[in-house]
Homo-oligomer: A and B are copies of this chain.
Amino acid sequence: MLKQPQTYLDFQDPQARPRHTGIASFFRAPISQQLDGVDIGLIGVPFDGGVTHRSGTRHGPRAVRDQSTLLRRINAATQVTPFATARVRDLGDCWIEQPYELVTALKEIETFYRAVTAAGVVPLSVGGDHSISFPILRAVAASGPVGMVHVDAHCDTGDDYMGSRFHHGAPFRRAVEENLLDPKRVIQIGVRGTTNDPDMWGFSQRSGMRVLPMDEFDDRGWRHAAEEARRVVGNGPAYLSFDIDSLDPSHAPGTGTPEAGGITALQALRLLRDLRGIDFIGGDLVEVSPPFDVGTLTSFNAASILFEILCLLVEAREKRQPLR
């Protein structure tokens, strides 16, 4: 920014400045138009073409960017300092040129992410709907299937729907079919709600995923879920996909497919912090739909969760290869 601090040098760091100031990039991280010198790339994917009911997640990245400016430099709970440790950049949006063609749109996303991962940048994405995780996985898991911690009210391993193989209820079935995910190393946490498909969790279970439904989460707590996640995912590379509808609607009303009776924000934060040590190579936070939000509650909680995911990615990246 042109405006430089004159008196208080701390303000040279954008993240230390008054939080209502400056163009709203993710966490007020530097905006970068290139991939060189970037360790972690924050990317918006303003696409909700995979949704059949309530849409609006195309507006998610901007809303999360805005609220993410409320976060600061240091994770008080874990002492992780993501921006000091890694070169974290806001890479802007992976927008869609041909939104009317779902298959083409997903291909556009895949192409973008292949460039990102080819440059060695760890991607942390903000949707958009959950259909985006599939093309992202095509890039992230290009060299072999990965594990996944998946926090969501839904398994998202459904089959074709309304004439399409690809939609926000199916990304992980497609990913298993394409050998992008190793279902034995996948855990799905927070699943609940009503369904139209008697076999809704069927694919997840038959393929070997660990489904940890909301009732189990509620009975045994976030520590149990984190323990199960670490056990299932193991030491190999893994992806983290966080659907904001895993949260209770009182914590995340602004989403397209709310399900009553979910995870609290506090549980989500603590669950994530307890995943330290897993070798995360990418992550996403999806399904924030600002037009359905009240105040900015959903976007704010989403930004807070995104910060925890960022910390996990930074730590994992540092562990794979020391930075700086």
Q: Which residues of A contact B (CB under 8 A)?
A: 1-3, 5-8, 10-11, 15-25, 31, 33-35, 44, 46, 48-49, 52-56, 58-59, 62, 65-66, 70-77, 90-102, 104, 108, 111-112, 115-116, 162-164, 167, 191-198, 200-201, 213-215, 218, 248-251, 253-254, 257-262, 264-266, 268-270, 291-297, 300-301, 304-305, 307
Contact = CB atoms under 8 A, between A and B. Distances in A.
Contacts of A74: 194-198, 200
Contact of A261 (B3, B15, B162, B304): B304
B294 A265 contact: no
Nearest to A311: B194
Question: Which interface residue of A62, A71, A294 has the most chain B CB atoms within 10 A?
Answer: A62
The number of times this chain is found in the oligomer is 6
A127 to B, nearest CB: 12
Contacts of A261: 264-266, 268-270, 304
B260 A20 contact: no
Contacts of A266: 214, 218, 248, 260-262
Contacts of A307: 194
A251 B128 CA distance: 26
A82 B108 CA distance: 31
A165 B107 CA distance: 21
B18 A23 contact: no
A99 B164 CA distance: 9
The SS class assigned to the A binding surface is loop
- Sorted nearest first, the 3 A-B pairs with minimum C-beta distance are A291-B291, A260-B304, A21-B95
B194 A11 contact: no
Nearest to A95: B21
26 contacts: A1-B33, A1-B92, A2-B91, A7-B97, A8-B163, A18-B96, A20-B46, A20-B62, A21-B93, A55-B58, A56-B56, A74-B194, A76-B191, A76-B194, A77-B215, A100-B102, A248-B251, A248-B264, A250-B265, A253-B295, A260-B305, A261-B265, A261-B304, A262-B266, A291-B291, A294-B294
A23 B90 contact: yes
A2 B114 CA distance: 12
A105 to B, nearest CB: 10
Question: Which interface residue of A17, A214, A260, A270 has the most chain B CB atoms within 10 A?
Answer: A260
Contacts of A17: 95
A257 to B, nearest CB: 8
Nearest to A259: B304
Nearest to A55: B55
A114 B174 CA distance: 38
